[in-house]
Amino acid sequence: MPKAIKTIIWIVVIALVTWGICTLLSREKSEISQIKIGAPLILSGDGAFWGENAKRGIEMAVNEFLDKNSELDIEIVYEDTQGEISKAVSAFQKLSNVDNVDAMIGPLMQSEVAAISPIAFKNNIPVITPSYAPIENRSNPRNPLMIWMNPTIEAERIAEFVYKKEGVKKVSILGTQDSWEKEVSNAFANKFKELGGEVTAKELVQTDVSDVRATITKLLRSNPEGIYLGTYYQFIQGLRVIKERGYEGKIYSIEVDSYLADETKQFSNGLKFISPESYRSNFITKFESKYNQKPGIPAGQAYDATNILLSFLEETQDKIEIINMMENLNEYEGVSGNIIITEDNTTLFPTAIYELKNGESTKISD
């Protein structure tokens, strides 16, 4: 056979093999489902610790899911809301209209969730959030789907603990004008008075106020037996001033995470607070191994929210079908406990009472 003909045959064979390989790779790629999830979180500013915990919880859930589902390609698109309503709305619109995400996890603040709720309803964007918003602020009570304890019920539970178990009959309250913190402060006050207790003073300051000394003075002048801190924003500053003023009574709070505990370990001994029960031990171990720190709020709730969403996306990427699945979800056993969503769309968690000592929390009561 002439050399020229052999060369032509080899060229044809190589071309056919190359075409076959490219076709096979293209077919395999097309068979991988492309999923894009938006995550509007607080990644800078005062709430960045919460945002970073949520982000890590999301990443852990996605990575574990992909290890078992190689046929899926999942991209997480993060947007920083800085905990501000306007930026949360802008982030939501960008993720929806520009990034064209299939669903979202977040945002984290109650005010943010309330602001994006009507947009999610109008555009049929499935949203699962490790947060909360009152039912009256949700166009669809199941979208966003709340993976966070109803704060009114949580505040009422610790009010009962303070009055019945601790025997405290007179309290003063420090909260802020943030919608979530105002709700937990007012709910605690209302329940405490309903039980027969006296609220000697209640102060709801602005979230960014830089000096609470005058406010704390008002609370202490009312001679309370206990002080309730219904605040994250002013927890560190408020607690420090209370101790500087020599207050020796009992102090209570709602949801103290590892960051607050560490920042106040020199003056928070004996403080008792209510919070969702500790995360499952296997989750804590995995989180510590990966990030070299304990998971803070809301890492476990974000992990659970992500796994719930992924279980839906594994079945369908149709937004309406996913929303229907969200509307039919009544219970989920997650690393943050047994999450129950009642018929009246109230989200319930198992909670417990904890006590701080040297920056560490110990469970003392269910």
Per-residue model confidence as pLDDT tens digits over 248-259: 999 999 999 888
Strands in the chain per DSSP E: 33-41, 72-80, 103-105, 127-129, 145-146, 170-176, 198-205, 226-229, 250-254, 272-276, 331-334, 337-341, 347-348, 351-357, 360-365
Asked if domains 33-148+298-329 and 151-278+352-365 share a fold, the reply is yes
> Residue 24 pLDDT more than 60?
no
pLDDT digits (tens, 9 = 90+) for 311-353: 999 999 999 999 999 999 999 999 988 999 999 999 998 899 9
Q: Residue 171 to residues 211, 212, 240, 247, 310: CA-CA distances in angstroms?
A: 22, 18, 18, 13, 44
Per-residue pLDDT band for 19 (boundaries 50, 70, 90) equals: low
pLDDT digits (tens, 9 = 90+) for 288-303: 999 998 898 899 999 9
**Rounded Cα–Cα distance for residues 162 and 197 (Å):** 10
Mean pLDDT of 119-143: 94
**Rounded Cα–Cα distance for residues 325 and 310 (Å):** 12
End-to-end CA distance of the chain: 89
- Helix and strand numbers (H, E) in the chain are 12, 15
Spell out the CATH class of 151-278+352-365: alpha beta
In this structure, which CATH number among 3.40.50.720, 3.30.300.30, 3.40.50.2300, 3.30.460.10 belongs to the domain 33-148+298-329? 3.40.50.2300
DSSP state of 2: -
Report whether 188 contacts 155 (CB < 8 A): yes
Residues 226, 261, 263, CA angle at the centre, nearest 5°? 110
Domain range annotation of the chain? 33-148+298-329, 151-278+352-365
> Residue 6 pLDDT more than 60?
no
CA 315 from chain centre, in angstroms, equals 25
Dihedral of alpha carbons 254, 255, 258, 259, sign: negative
**Rounded Cα–Cα distance for residues 130 and 113 (Å):** 10
| pTM, entire model | 0.83
pLDDT at 251: 98
Report whether 94 contacts 79 (CB < 8 A): yes
pLDDT at 310: 97
Report whether 230 contacts 181 (CB < 8 A): yes
The DSSP bridge partners found for residue 103 are 37
Report whether 173 contacts 226 (CB < 8 A): no
